[in-house]
Amino acid sequence: MKKYIFRLSLIATGLILSSCGSDKQENKSNDRAIKVKVAQVVDNIDNQFLAVSGKVQALKSSNLSTRMMGHVSKIHINIGDKVTKDQLLLSINNNDLSAKLAQAKASIIEAKAAYTNTEKDYHRFVNLFKNNSASQKELDDITAHYNMAKARLEAANQMKKEIEAQFSYVNIRAPFNGVVSNKFINEGDIANPGIPLLEIETPGEFQVAAMVPETEISQIKNETKVVVQIKSLNALINGKVVEVSTSAKNTGGQYLVKVMLEKTNLNLLSGMFATVQFPVNASDSSNSILIPISALVTKGELSGIYSVSQSNTALLRWLRLGRIYGDKVEVLSGLNAEESYIISSETKLFNGAKVTIQ
């Protein structure tokens, strides 16, 4: 029994020593200072930019729809196909319309025969009336019949034109040279009036539509040159403001601004997210503090930065942020001029971690 007790004591002692050893190793790892880089607060910036998010759009784009209801009998193109103006893109079943056109043509033949016959009678009675061989009443009657026959023929011709015009809504054609960018319906589906069927856009010419807050819209002017960052391509493109909305009635205080992009060899596509950098006047505050957005630490809706304390530890400071200027953001409170803050570290930082400045 004593032997078992002795062995258990040795095991417990070993576990305690092992635990102490691991604690020492962990403390050693925690005591190791993290290498960081710091920067000093930048203030009084003269050239500031207002960064606004937007989306890339084709300069010329059109959603094609129909005024006729019917089954889609044939789609002649695929997404990505290049098309020319008036090229047939989509056909809708037009049996009813074809029958109406046949009826209209038959009505024209009938009306034309009646008009030709009445016209002959009219000219004959005019001659008889001149020779006093027909009365005024007879001439008036034949004139009335002649005018009615002429009107019926004209009505039949107009009916034919109306039906032929409706064929443009069952045979959807390209309104301009472009590329098919979207397809909203398949063969066999029912096309409804006013519902988009296809989307076509011009390739190579793009613009960015951005929403500018009401506090800044007064500084955005037409013809202003801007820089546009395409996030997915990690590229910058020059542009120019071509349209500034004067109303935010239906956009919740946001004003639509359109920026024409310069032609580029980049593979731009409609719908790509972009950031437009509008040059604006410097803040009215004499101490405008800007820091890189990449230095921010975010937790939920809070944003802050790490600074270095007097004891060389990382100190997390929460900030109140203002406007964004390009890749920098304005600090309204929480950081003073000439203070330093951490911009990068070799490993992940935490509040109270020991640091050493490179």
pLDDT tens for 320-337 read: 887 776 677 888 888 887
191: which strand partners? 70
Give the Cα separation of 349 and 340 in Å (integer).
Answer: 16
Q: How much is the pLDDT for 43? A: 59
Q: For the residues 207-225, what does the mean pLDDT come to?
A: 88
What ranges make up the beta strands (E) of 76-219? 82-83, 88-92, 171-173, 178-183, 190-191, 198-201, 206-213
Fold of 62-92+175-200: OB fold (Dihydrolipoamide Acetyltransferase, E2P) (2.40.50)
The confidence score (pLDDT) of residue 258 equals 94
Q: Which CATH number fits domain 50-59+202-280: 1.10.1240.10, 2.40.30.170, 3.40.50.300, 2.40.340.10?
A: 2.40.30.170
| pLDDT tens sequence across 145-184 | 999 999 999 999 999 998 888 887 888 999 999 999 999 9
- The answer to whether 32-49+286-357 and 50-59+202-280 have equal CATH topology is no
Find the angle CA(297)-CA(298)-CA(299) to the nearest 5 degrees.
130
Per-state percent for the chain, helix, strand, coil, to nearest 5: 30, 40, 35
Q: What pLDDT shows up at residue 299?
A: 87
pLDDT digits (tens, 9 = 90+) for 306-318: 998 888 899 999 9
pLDDT band at 118 (very low <50, low <70, confident <90, very high): very high
d(CA 156, CA 103): 10
DSSP structural state of residue 313: B
What ranges do the domains of the chain cover? 32-49+286-357, 50-59+202-280, 62-92+175-200, 95-168
The yes-or-no verdict on residue 10 having pLDDT over 80 is: no
Q: What is the pLDDT of residues 266-307, one digit of tens each?
A: 888 888 999 898 887 655 444 568 888 888 988 888 899 999
State which amino acid sits at residue 25.
Q
Backbone φ, ψ for residue 162 (5° rounding): -65, -45
pLDDT band of 39, cuts 50, 70, 90:
confident
Answer for the pair 323, 50: CB distance below 8 angstroms, yes or no: yes
Q: Write the CATH number of the domain with boundaries 95-168.
A: 1.10.287.470
Reported as half-sphere exposure (CB side, CA atoms, 13 A), residue 282 has a value of 11
On average, the pLDDT of the chain sits at: 83
Q: Give the per-residue pLDDT at 31.
A: 62
Report residue 231's pLDDT band, with 50, 70 and 90 as the boundaries: confident
Assigned architecture for domain 32-49+286-357 = Beta Barrel (2.40)
Average pLDDT over residues 232-257: 87
Cβ neighbours for 23, distance < 8 A, ≥ 6 positions apart: none
The pLDDT of residue 325 is 67
The residue among 287 and 92 whose pLDDT is bigger is: 92
pTM > 0.75: yes or no: no
Can you give the pLDDT at residue 133? Answer: 86
